[in-house]
Chains A and B, each alone.
Chain A
Amino acid sequence: MLTVVLQQGINGIVVGSLYVLVALGLTLIYGVLVQINFAHADIVTLGAFAAYFFMHLVGGYYLASIAVALLAGAALGYLVNAAIFAPLRERGNELLPLIATIGVSVLLENAMLAWFGPIPYAFETPYSNEVVRLGSAFITVQNLLIVSVSFLTIALLYAFMRFTFLGKALRAVSQDRETASLMGINPNAVIMLTFVIASALAGMGGAMLGPVLVLTPFAGTSVIVKAFAIVIIGGFGNVEGTILAGLLVGLIESYTTQFLAPGLIDIVVFALLLLTLAVRPTGLVAEKREENV
Chain B
Amino acid sequence: MSRLDTCRIFFRKTGAHFSGKCSPRPLAYLAAVALIAVLPLVFADSYWRTNLIVCAINVLLAIGLDFILGHAGQLNLGQSAFYGIGAYVSTLLIMKLGVPYWLAFTAGVALAGLSGMLLALFAVRLRGHYLAIASLGFAVITYQILLNWISLTQGPLGIYAIQPPPPLALPGGLSVDFADLKNLFYLVAGFALLTYLLLDQLVRSPIGETLAAIREDEVSAASLGIDCRAWKVFAFGVASAVAGAAGCFYASFVGTLVPDAFFITESFTILAMVIVGGMGSLIGPVCGAILLSVLPEVLRGIGDLRLIVYGLALTLVVLFMPGGLVQAARLLAQRLRRLATFGAARVG
Q: Which residues of A are interface residues toward B (Cβ below 8 A)?
A: 30, 34-36, 83-84, 87-88, 90-96, 98-100, 102-111, 114, 225, 228-229, 232, 236, 261, 263-264, 266-267, 270-271, 273-274, 277-278, 281, 292-293
Chain B residues positioned under 8 Å from A109 (CB to CB): 307, 311
Question: When the two chains form their complex, are residues A236 and B130 in contact, meaning their CB atoms are under 8 A apart?
Answer: yes
CB of B13, distance to nearest CB on chain A (Å)? 12
Given A110-B308, A292-B130: A274 and B122 within 8 A (CB)? Answer: yes
Question: When the two chains form their complex, are residues A293 and B125 in contact, meaning their CB atoms are under 8 A apart?
Answer: yes
Q: Give the distance in Å from the alpha carbon of A236 to the alpha carbon of B132 in the complex.
A: 13
A-contact bits for B126-157, CB 8 A (1 contact / 0 none) = 11111011101110110011011000000000
13 contacts between A and B (CB under 8 A): A36-B129, A94-B129, A98-B128, A100-B319, A103-B275, A103-B313, A103-B314, A103-B316, A232-B130, A266-B140, A270-B138, A273-B133, A293-B127
Question: When the two chains form their complex, are residues A277 and B122 in contact, meaning their CB atoms are under 8 A apart?
Answer: yes
Question: When the two chains form their complex, are residues B136 and A228 in contact, meaning their CB atoms are under 8 A apart?
Answer: yes
Q: Give the distance in Å from the alpha carbon of A94 to the alpha carbon of B275 in the complex.
A: 15
> Per DSSP, are chain A's interface residues mostly helix, strand or loop, or mixed?
helix
CB of A260, distance to nearest CB on chain B (Å)? 11
Chain B residues positioned under 8 Å from A292 (CB to CB): 126-127, 129-130
Q: Is B175's CB within 8 Å of the partner chain A?
A: no
Q: What's the tally of chain B residues with a CB closer than 8 Å to chain A?
A: 47
Question: When the two chains form their complex, are residues B312 and A91 in contact, meaning their CB atoms are under 8 A apart?
Answer: no
Kindly report which residue of chain A lies nearest to residue B119, judged by CB atoms.
A274
Contact of B148 among A93, A96, A99, A263 (CB under 8 A): A263
Contact of A225 among B4, B122, B136 (CB under 8 A): B136
Q: Which residues of B are interface residues toward A (Cβ below 8 A)?
A: 4, 8, 11-12, 69, 73, 75, 122-123, 125-130, 132-134, 136-138, 140-141, 144-145, 147-148, 264-265, 268, 271-272, 275, 304-305, 307-308, 310-316, 318-319, 322
CB of B102, distance to nearest CB on chain A (Å)? 32
Q: Give the distance in Å from the alpha carbon of A232 to the alpha carbon of B304 in the complex.
A: 34
Question: When the two chains form their complex, are residues A228 and B271 in contact, meaning their CB atoms are under 8 A apart?
Answer: no
Q: Give the distance in Å from the alpha carbon of A293 to the alpha carbon of B133 in the complex.
A: 13
Question: When the two chains form their complex, are residues A263 and B130 in contact, meaning their CB atoms are under 8 A apart?
Answer: no
> Which 3 pairs show the lowest CB-CB distances between chains A and B?
A107-B311, A103-B314, A106-B311
Kindly report which residue of chain A lies nearest to residue B134, judged by CB atoms.
A277
Contact of B130 among A83, A271, A277 (CB under 8 A): A277
Contact of B122 among A106, A114, A267, A278 (CB under 8 A): A278
Q: Give the distance in Å from the alpha carbon of A99 to the alpha carbon of B144 in the complex.
A: 24
- Looking at A95, A98, A105, A229, which has the most chain B CB atoms within 10 Å of its CB? A95
Kindly report which residue of chain B lies nearest to residue A111, judged by CB atoms.
B308
Question: When the two chains form their complex, are residues B305 and A225 in contact, meaning their CB atoms are under 8 A apart?
Answer: no
Q: Give the distance in Å from the alpha carbon of A35 to the alpha carbon of B130 in the complex.
A: 11
Q: Give the distance in Å from the alpha carbon of A102 to the alpha carbon of B307 in the complex.
A: 12
Q: Give the distance in Å from the alpha carbon of A36 to the alpha carbon of B133 in the complex.
A: 10
Contact of B11 among A34, A36, A93, A106 (CB under 8 A): A93
Q: Give the distance in Å from the alpha carbon of A114 to the alpha carbon of B271 in the complex.
A: 22
